[in-house]
Structure 1
Amino acid sequence: MSAPLAERMRPRTLDEVSGQRALLAPSGPLRRALASGRLSSMLFWGPPGVGKTTLARVLAADSGRELRSLSAVQCGVKDLRKAVDELPESPAGIVFIDEVHRFNKAQQDALLPWVESGRIILLGATTENPSFSVNRALLSRLQVMVLKALQADDLVALIARALSAPQGLAGDVKAEPEVIERIAQLADGDARRALGLLEQAATLAQDGQLTLALIEAALKSQPRAFDKGGDEFYDQISALHKSVRGSDPDAALYWLARMLDGGCDPQYIARRLIRMASEDIGNADPRLLGLCLDAAQAYERLGSPEGDLALAQAAVYLACAPKSNAIEMGWMAAQQAVRDGGSQPVPPHLRNAPTRFMKAQGNGQGYRYAHDEPDAVAWGEHYLPDALLGQRYYQPTERGLERSIGDKLQRIRAEQDKTLGQVRQQRGRR
C-alpha cells in the first residue's frame, strides 16, 4: 500500500524543508548547530504540519546519529529506557518524542538524567506552550525552537513540487495556478493538510485535471481542525472577548465565525458571552445579561446552524454596547475586603430578631424600613460593618445607564457621609 502523499513528500535535507527561514537561514540556529557538530537537546514548538517531525529526522541524518522515534501518546518510561539502551553512547543517539507535552511530570522527569549527562540528545515536539506543558526542570535543559505556520508562497511551492515530483503525483494530475493557490489558502499554514487536500482531490479528478469544485469537495472530507484545549483555543476566545471589550463588532463576528468553523462547542461560547455581559458591560446596559441568556437558550433549542445567528446577535450587541467594568471591579474589591478584614460583625440594627431573647440583645433595634422612608431610601442609614464605614466598592462609570445610577448613588452616599461622623462618635462611646 502506498504511503500518503505527505509522507512521500517529506523533506530529506534541510534545503528541502519549506518555511522556517529564521531557523534554517545560514546564520540560523539549526544550521549553526549542524555546522559546529554540537547538536544539543531541543524542543520544537509550533502548530501541526510545520515540520517538527521532519526536522528531527533531517537533523539525525545530517549529523550521522541514530534516531529512535516515540510518541508520548503511546509510550511510557519502559519504552523510553528501551530506546535509550538501543542507542550508542558515542556519538550520542537521538530520541525524538512527538507530543512530548502528553507526558506527565514523572515521565518528563525520567528524561532528566539522560539529557543532563549527554547520554542522549532529546528532540521533542509540541503544539502546546512549553511554559505550561513542559516541567521547568526539563525545559531548562532544552533549547526551544519556535516553528511558524507556513506562508502561502511556501505552500504553493510545496504543492507544485508534489504535482511533478516522482515520489509525488509525477505529472499525472494537472492544476491551474488559481487551484494551487486555493489549496494553499485552505491549508491554513499546514503542509500536511495541503498535501492531504491535494491527494484527496486527485482521487476525484477523473480526467486528471484539478478544479476549484474538486478542491471544495475534498475539503468536506477534511473538516478544519480545532484544538479544543490548547493555545489556539485560548488565543481565539481571548481575541473574541477583547474584540467585544474593544467595541469592534466586525472583529467579534470574525473570531466567533473562526471558532464555530473550527468546531468549538457553541454552548461554551454562549457561556463566555454571558460572562462578558456582566464583566464588560454590567449596569451600563443591564438588558444585555438577559439578551445573552436568551441567545444561549435559542441555541439550545435550534442548534447549528440556525442557533449560531443568535450567538452572533449577542456578540454584536455586546461589542456595540456602552462599556463598564464597574461591577467586576466592585466585586473584586469586596472580595479583597473580606479576605483582608476577617469576619466583621453584623451591625446590631441589621441583625435578625425573630425571638424575644434576640430582641432583648438589641438585634434589629433602630432599623429603619426603607419602604416607609421618602423615596424608599433611609437617608443617612449605614449597612456596612462599623470597621468598613465609608468604603466604596462599586464606582459607576459615566457610560450608559450607569450615568443615572451614579447620580442617584452620589446623592445617597453624600447623605450617608453627613451622618458618618455621628455614627463613629457613637461607636467610640461603646
Structure 2
Amino acid sequence: MAKREPQFDDPDLLTVDRDASRPLAERMRPRDLDEMVGQRRLLAPGAALRRSIESGHVHSMVLWGPPGCGKTTLALLLAKYADADFRAISAVLSGLPEVRQVLAEAARRFAEGRRTVLFVDEVHRFNKAQQDAFLPHIERGTILFVGATTENPSFELNSALLSRCRVHVMEAASADDIAVTLRRALDDAERGIGERELHIGDEQLLLISRAADGDVRRGLTFLEIAADLAGEGGTITNATLEQVLADRSRRFDKGGEQFYDQISALHKCVRSSNPDAALYWLARMLDGGCDPGYLARRLTRMAVEDIGLADPRALQMAIEAWDTYDRLGSPEGDLALAQLAIYLASTAKSNAAYKAFGEAKRDVAEYGTQDVPIHIRNAPTKLMKQLGYGSGYQYDHDVAGGVALDQTGFPDAMGERVYYQPTEAGMEARLKEKLDRLRAAREEAGDRKS
C-alpha cells in the first residue's frame, strides 16, 4: 500500500513551496536524509539513527544542538519516513492549555490508528509541570515526542522526561557543509535561486559559509540578501559581501552551555601554559558580549588557584588589570585583560597553596572545634595569665635562628600536619628549600623532646 502524505499543522514547515516570497532557507529545507548536511555521525549511511528513521521505527527523542543545525528538519523527516502526522508547538509561544489540546488531538488520531510526531521547539523553556504533561502520552505511544533545545538537557529538562527519550547531540555545520548547501541553492532553479543565473566565486562562497558560523539557515539568509543586492545575472563580489556580512555576530550564550564551555577552555589553556589558546578564548568571549568584569574576576582566580606562590606577582598583576579595565572600559581596557591572560599562561604554575587550603578545610570539618594550644593563646587580662594562657610561649625573634623549632601550632588532638607542599616552579622553589629544612629540624626537635 502506498504511503499517504503526513499531515502537518504548519504547511510552511513541510511543503517544497516554489513561492519565491518565502525565505530561501525554507524553500531549500532538505526533503530527505541525503540532503541533510553536517550530521554525519548521526545520519551517515548505516548509522543507528538513520537506520531507525528509514525503517520507520522511530523513538521519542531530544535533539540538542545549536541554531540552524537541522533540528526542525530532522523532526519533519521523522514524520515523513514514519508515515505519521506532524504537529509543532513552541515552548516560547505555547502554554499548558495549548499543550493539552495538541495532546488530546494526538490521542484521537492514535485511537484511529494514526501516529503523531509532536515537535516541541525550545523545549527547555517549558517548566516542570508542562514537561510532565507529555509523560503519559510518550509512555502509551500516543505521540512520538521530539524535543529541540539549544541548552544542555541534563540541566534544563526533568529526569522523568529524559528517561523516556533518547538524547541525540547535533553539531554545528562546518563551513564546507554550508558551502554545499549554498551551491545547491545557487544551482536549483525550482526551489533555490538558480533562475537568477548569479555568478559567485569559491572565495566569496567560503566567506558566506564561514560568516554563517555553523548555522545553515543563516548562511542561506546571507546568500539570499547578497543575491538581491547583485540582481538578476549579477555577480556577488567581496564588495557585496562587505555590506551583507558587516554586522554579523558569533554564537555565544551569556548564561548557557557555550558560556561555561568557553570559560572552561580559557581557564584550562592558562593552566596548561598555552598563551595563544588562552588569548583566543578570551577574544571569543569578549566578542560574544561576555562581561569583561566577569573575565577579570575569573583571571584573578586563576592567578590564585593555578599560579599561586610560584609567582606572587601574578595576583598583583591581576588586580591591576582588573582596576585598569574598571578605569578605561572597553575597548581600551580589554588589552589589560589580554596582557594578563598572556602573562598568567606564560608564567610558572603551582596549585600547592590551593591544595593546602583544601586539606586544612577538610581537617577543620573532621576535627571540629579544637581548643587553641594554651601556649599560643592570647592573655590580655590578669585572670587569663593566672590560668596559664600564653605560658611556655617562645618568642621566635629571641630564639637562635629565628624559629622555635619545638613549639607546635596545632591543637593537641591533631599533632603536627603538613598541608603546603611547594613545587620546584618559580619562586616556590626557594620556599620549598626553606620549608623542607625547617620541617626536618622541627621533626628532629620533636623527637628529642619526646
Q: CA offsets per residue over residues 133-152 of structure 1, 9 Å max, x none? A: 32222212112222122123
| TM-score, structure 1 normalization | 0.92
Distance 1:351 1:125, change over 3 A: same
CA positional deviation for 1:206: 6.2
- The code of the aligned residue for 1:85 comes to A
Structure 2 counterpart of 1:178, from 203, 210, 226: 203
SS in 2 for 1:388: coil
Q: CA offsets per residue over residues 168-206 of structure 1, 9 Å max, x none? A: 334434321110011112222210221222233344446
Q: What is the rounded CA distance, in whole Å, between the counterparts of 2:145 and 2:34 in structure 1? A: 23
SS in 2 for 1:405: helix
Q: In the alignment, is residue 57 of structure 1 matched against residue 57 of structure 2?
A: no
Contact 1:326 1:396 survives alignment (8 Å): yes
Distance 1:219 1:69, change over 3 A: same
CA RMSD of aligned residues (A): 2.2
In structure 2, the partner of 1:106 is: 129
Structure 1 counterpart of 2:439, from 393, 398, 413: 413
In structure 2, the partner of 1:193 is: 218
Q: Which moved more, 1:333-342 or 1:181-190?
A: 181-190
Q: In the alignment, is residue 124 of structure 1 matched against residue 147 of structure 2?
A: yes
| TM-score, structure 2 normalization | 0.88
Describe how 1:387-406 pairs up with structure 2 within 5 A: 387-406=413-432
Q: CA offsets per residue over residues 216-275 of structure 1, 9 Å max, x none? A: 332233322311222222222222111111111111112222222222222222111111
Distance 1:213 1:224, change over 3 A: farther
In structure 2, the partner of 1:168 is: 192
Q: In the alignment, is residue 341 of structure 1 matched against residue 367 of structure 2?
A: yes
Describe how 1:66-145 pairs up with structure 2 within 5 A: 66-87=85-106, 88-89=109-110, 90-145=113-168
In structure 2, the partner of 1:226 is: 252
CA positional deviation for 1:372: 3.9
Q: In the alignment, is residue 13 of structure 1 matched against residue 32 of structure 2?
A: yes
In structure 1, the partner of 2:273 is: 247
Distance 1:212 1:377, change over 3 A: farther
Contact 1:45 1:130 survives alignment (8 Å): yes
Q: CA offsets per residue over residues 107-158 of structure 1, 9 Å max, x none? A: 3222211111111110011222323332222212112222122123221111
Structure 1 counterpart of 2:44, from 19, 25, 29: 25
Distance 1:217 1:303, change over 3 A: farther
Q: What is the rounded CA distance, in whole Å, between the counterparts of 1:237 and 1:318 in structure 2? A: 15
Q: Which moved more, 1:59-68 or 1:37-46?
A: 59-68
Q: What is the rounded CA distance, in whole Å, between the counterparts of 1:378 and 1:174 in structure 2? A: 85
Q: What is the rounded CA distance, in whole Å, between the counterparts of 1:399 and 1:60 in structure 2? A: 61
Q: What is the rounded CA distance, in whole Å, between the counterparts of 1:422 and 1:358 in structure 2? A: 30
Q: What is the rounded CA distance, in whole Å, between the counterparts of 1:206 and 1:378 in structure 2? A: 88
- The code of the aligned residue for 1:145 comes to H
Distance 1:230 1:34, change over 3 A: same
Q: What is the rounded CA distance, in whole Å, between the counterparts of 1:338 and 1:153 in structure 2? A: 57
In structure 2, the partner of 1:428 is: none
SS in 2 for 1:307: helix
Contact 1:225 1:263 survives alignment (8 Å): no
SS in 1 for 2:245: helix
In structure 2, the partner of 1:39 is: 58
SS in 1 for 2:134: helix
Identical-residue share of aligned pairs (%): 54
Q: What is the rounded CA distance, in whole Å, between the counterparts of 1:343 and 1:49 in structure 2? A: 57
Q: What is the rounded CA distance, in whole Å, between the counterparts of 2:119 and 2:270 in structure 1? A: 42
Contact 1:95 1:122 survives alignment (8 Å): yes
CA positional deviation for 1:412: 2.3
CA positional deviation for 1:369: 3.1
SS in 2 for 1:108: helix
SS in 2 for 1:3: coil
Distance 1:369 1:102, change over 3 A: farther
- The code of the aligned residue for 2:218 comes to R
Structure 1 counterpart of 2:342, from 296, 300, 316: 316
Q: Which moved more, 1:341-350 or 1:103-112?
A: 103-112
Q: Runs of 5+ in structure 2 lacking a partner?
A: 1-19
Distance 1:351 1:213, change over 3 A: farther
CA positional deviation for 1:213: 3.2
Q: What is the rounded CA distance, in whole Å, between the counterparts of 1:285 and 1:265 in structure 2? A: 27
CA positional deviation for 1:301: 1.8
Q: What is the rounded CA distance, in whole Å, between the counterparts of 2:428 and 2:217 in structure 1? A: 52
In structure 2, the partner of 1:237 is: 263
Q: Which moved more, 1:364-373 or 1:353-362?
A: 364-373
In structure 2, the partner of 1:274 is: 300
Contact 2:376 2:393 survives alignment (8 Å): yes
SS in 2 for 1:145: strand
Q: Runs of 5+ in structure 1 lacking a partner?
A: 426-430
Q: Which moved more, 1:204-213 or 1:355-364?
A: 204-213
Q: What is the rounded CA distance, in whole Å, between the counterparts of 1:389 and 1:74 in structure 2? A: 64
CA positional deviation for 1:290: 0.8
Q: CA offsets per residue over residues 315-338 of structure 1, 9 Å max, x none? A: 111111111110111011111111
Q: What is the rounded CA distance, in whole Å, between the counterparts of 1:222 and 1:181 in structure 2? A: 15
